[in-house]
Amino acid sequence: MSSAPADGAAATQPATSGARKVYVKSYGCQMNVYDSHRMADTLASSGYTETSSPEGADLVILNTCHIRERAAEKVYSELGRLREMKDSAALEGRQVRIAVAGCVAQAEGKEIIRREKTVDLVVGSQNYHRLPELLARAHNGPVVDTEFPVEDKFEHLGKPSASKIRTRGISAFLTIQEGCDKFCTFCVVPYTRGVEVSRPAASIIAEAERLADAGVREITLIGQNVNAYHGQGPDGRTWTLGKLLERIAGIRGIVRLRYSTSHPRDMDDSLYAAHRDIPAVMPQLHLPVQSGSDRILAAMNRGHTRAEFMHVVERLRAIRPDMAFTSDIIVGFPGETDEDFEDTMRLVRDVPFTSGYAFNYSTRPGTPAAEREDQIPENVKTARLHRLQALLEQQRHSFNMRSMGACVPVLFDKAGRLPGQMVGRSMFLQPVHVMADAAIISTVADVEINEINSNGLFGTLVHAPRAHEAAAMELQKA
Ligand code: SAH
Ligand code: SF4
Ligand code: F3S
């Protein structure tokens, strides 16, 4: 599958006096966004500084996604553009190196170098801590490393400096779990990310504390199946996600907590309790359902029925009546009839969602559903997709309209486009704009909403930061 590093002790490239620049482009999910940051942090110790565009970069890393055919193909068109950039830099005597990381790297390995000779390095999702060493080896010709190593990559990845954390904003992702053992019949993730592994709680807590100390106010715990989390706790017991949320909510400065992506099968009592008892846990959940038809859910190997999904929604709403649900839905899975699709539309109406992502089923090589002969024609998929997207859009709009005239708590994170305008997020991640002093950034304040358009919610500040957020403000000033 790959060539392993010949020598684990191979030298990290020494930092050169003229700082080299690395540009990392992320595709796909939040896990890749997190990994891209950690790759940049790891390369910082080899003298690389992060830059926000490929022009002028000495190293370009594409952190890729393999989930749907179009996502994977994007990588090759981007590589074509980068080849031209690399060739013209070479004419000026400047060497640019190109690396492909992420799920396409993991799935296609050396096939990438065969298809696109401009690539110097292919690095799978579990090997980012080896980047400095792999780049050193790539001086002698293309290198491929897509092994699943035994060591814990998280412990070996570079850590961001406090100033780096601040430039990334007051909301941060923190990976707590990786991989998936569920093998839904349409999905590549179990093959590209490997088996489900939970990080030990102590290392997650230390990372959350570092983020909070540097000014982060909102953390989203992420994983391919984040609520399957079962890491070792500092007390030697296995911790659930609910327990971890409770611990992280106690960290000074953290005012909001989220987690994503959850699987309906992995909701447990500790998580329901977290939504009931921890004010920092936001009343919002991304809970992919994929289909509303029991027949299709079974063929997808989702391991739950439509009724079981509805039970999760109802149980959470009983605890938190303001709970908002978003979802992922696939249309045109092999064998999906008009009736199955109508079941999906009915489920979406029954929940209803506050927004959602709908996808045409995409055939992924190596997955069981790709072998089926009853594939659905593209025009049928697309017609269904448009109907579903229209319904989800309607639901998003009516959810937004419910905020009209309401007073909503907003965590402010940056200046807006207009002079004097500040922007933050509601509990449900809607962007909210007000005219306010910049000192409001990184605090939670109440806003009365008086306008809603396609850019989000607009309103006036009605409340200074509330008492329980004052501590966070003090920390920020310190
Ligand atoms: N672990 C998450 C999903 C990760 S993939 C879960 O189990 O829900 C993100 C989304 O991509 C999935 O929820 C699914 O809706 C979509 N997806 C995955 N494979 C796909 C495929 N072959 N075709 C179309 N959409 C797909
Ligand atoms: Fe893919 Fe299913 Fe695992 Fe989600 S649970 S990552 S959809 S195999
Ligand atoms: Fe894509 Fe890999 Fe994430 S396939 S969705 S980048 S886990």
- Nearest atom, ligand 1, residue 188 CA: 19
The mean pLDDT value for 378-387 works out to 98
- Nearest atom, ligand 1, residue 225 CA: 1
pLDDT value of position 465:
53
- Which of 26, 27, 31, 224 to mutate for ligand 3's pocket (most ligand atoms within 8 Å of CB)? 31
Q: Ligand 3: distance of its center to the CA of 244 in Å?
A: 24
pLDDT beyond 70 at 1: no
Judge if the beta carbon of residue 284 lies within 6 A of ligand 3: no
Higher pLDDT, 82 or 16: 82
Task: Tell me if 318 sits within 8 A of 272, measured CB to CB.
Answer: no
pLDDT value of position 148:
84
Nearest CA to ligand 1 atom 21: 362
Q: Residues 6 or more apart from 466 whose CB is under 8 A from it?
A: 409, 444, 445, 446
**Structural domain boundaries of the chain?**
9-152, 154-401, 407-477
Q: What band does 4 get if pLDDT is binned at 50, 70 and 90? A: very low
Q: Crossing angle of helices 269-277/306-319, nearest 10°?
A: 30
Nearest CA to ligand 3 atom 3: 29
The CATH class of the 154-401 domain is alpha beta
CA distances, 33 to each of 164, 184, 284, 297 (Å)? 15, 23, 21, 29
- Residue 179 main-chain phi, psi, to 5 deg: 85, 175
pLDDT beyond 90 at 389: yes
3-state secondary structure labels for all residues of 197-253 = EECCHHHHHHHHHHHHHCCCCEEEEECCCHHHCCEECCCCCEECHHHHHHHHHCCCC
Q: What band does 300 get if pLDDT is binned at 50, 70 and 90? A: very high
Model confidence pLDDT, tens digit, residues 394-404: 999 999 999 99
pLDDT value of position 19:
85
Higher pLDDT, 126 or 3: 126
Q: What band does 162 get if pLDDT is binned at 50, 70 and 90? A: very high
Q: What band does 463 get if pLDDT is binned at 50, 70 and 90? A: low
Judge if the beta carbon of residue 103 lies within 6 A of ligand 3: yes
Judge if the beta carbon of residue 67 lies within 6 A of ligand 2: no
Judge if the beta carbon of residue 126 lies within 6 A of ligand 3: no
- Give the rounded distance of the alpha carbon of 147 from its chain centre: 23
Q: Residues 6 or more apart from 191 whose CB is under 8 A from it?
A: 106, 107, 366, 367
The mean pLDDT value for 360-380 works out to 97
Q: What band does 469 get if pLDDT is binned at 50, 70 and 90? A: low
CA distance 223 to 452: 32
The dihedral through the CA atoms of 243, 247, 250, 255 has a sign that is negative
- Nearest atom, ligand 2, residue 181 CA: 3
pLDDT value of position 71:
86
Q: What band does 356 get if pLDDT is binned at 50, 70 and 90? A: very high
Q: Which ligand is nearest to the CA of 290?
A: 1
The mean pLDDT value for 160-173 works out to 93
The mean pLDDT value for 287-315 works out to 98
CA atoms within 13 Å, Cβ hemisphere of 90: 10
Q: CATH classification of 9-152, choosing from 3.40.50.12160, 3.90.1150.10, 3.30.230.80, 3.40.50.10790?
A: 3.40.50.12160
Q: Which ligand is nearest to the CA of 68?
A: 1
Judge if the beta carbon of residue 362 lies within 6 A of ligand 1: yes
Model confidence pLDDT, tens digit, residues 431-455: 999 999 999 999 999 999 999 998 8
**The pair of three-digit structure tokens given for residue 176, joined into one six-digit string:** 């707590």
Model confidence pLDDT, tens digit, residues 268-293: 999 999 999 999 999 999 999 999 99
Judge if the beta carbon of residue 168 lies within 6 A of ligand 3: no
Percent over 90 (pLDDT), the chain: 88
Model confidence pLDDT, tens digit, residues 199-234: 999 999 999 999 999 999 999 999 999 999 999 999
Model confidence pLDDT, tens digit, residues 403-416: 999 999 999 999 99
Nearest CA to ligand 3 atom 7: 189
Output the pTM of the full model.
0.91
pLDDT value of position 72:
84
Tell me the residue length of the chain: 478
Q: Ligand 3: distance of its center to the CA of 453 in Å?
A: 31
- Which of 65, 70, 128, 146 to mutate for ligand 3's pocket (most ligand atoms within 8 Å of CB)? 65
- Nearest atom, ligand 3, residue 63 CA: 6
Q: What is the CA angle 141-145-148, rounded to 5?
A: 170
For the chain, what is the mean pLDDT? 92
CA distances, 167 to each of 206, 216, 339, 413 (Å)? 20, 10, 50, 11
CA distance 11 to 26: 27
Which of 124-128, 147-151, 238-242 has the highest average model confidence (pLDDT)? 238-242
Q: Ligand 2: distance of its center to the CA of 265 in Å?
A: 11
pLDDT beyond 90 at 155: no
Q: Ligand 3: distance of its center to the CA of 328 in Å?
A: 14
pLDDT beyond 60 at 2: no
Nearest CA to ligand 2 atom 1: 187
Comparing CA positions, the residue from 271, 287, 260, 277 lying closest to residue 176 is 260
The mean pLDDT value for 142-151 works out to 87
- Which of 187, 289, 327, 364 to mutate for ligand 2's pocket (most ligand atoms within 8 Å of CB)? 187
Q: What band does 18 get if pLDDT is binned at 50, 70 and 90? A: low
Instruction: Domain 407-477: give its CATH superfamily.
Output: Nucleic acid-binding proteins (2.40.50.140)
Percent over 70 (pLDDT), the chain: 93
pLDDT value of position 152:
80
pLDDT beyond 70 at 342: yes
Model confidence pLDDT, tens digit, residues 39-81: 999 999 889 999 999 999 999 999 999 999 988 889 999 999 9
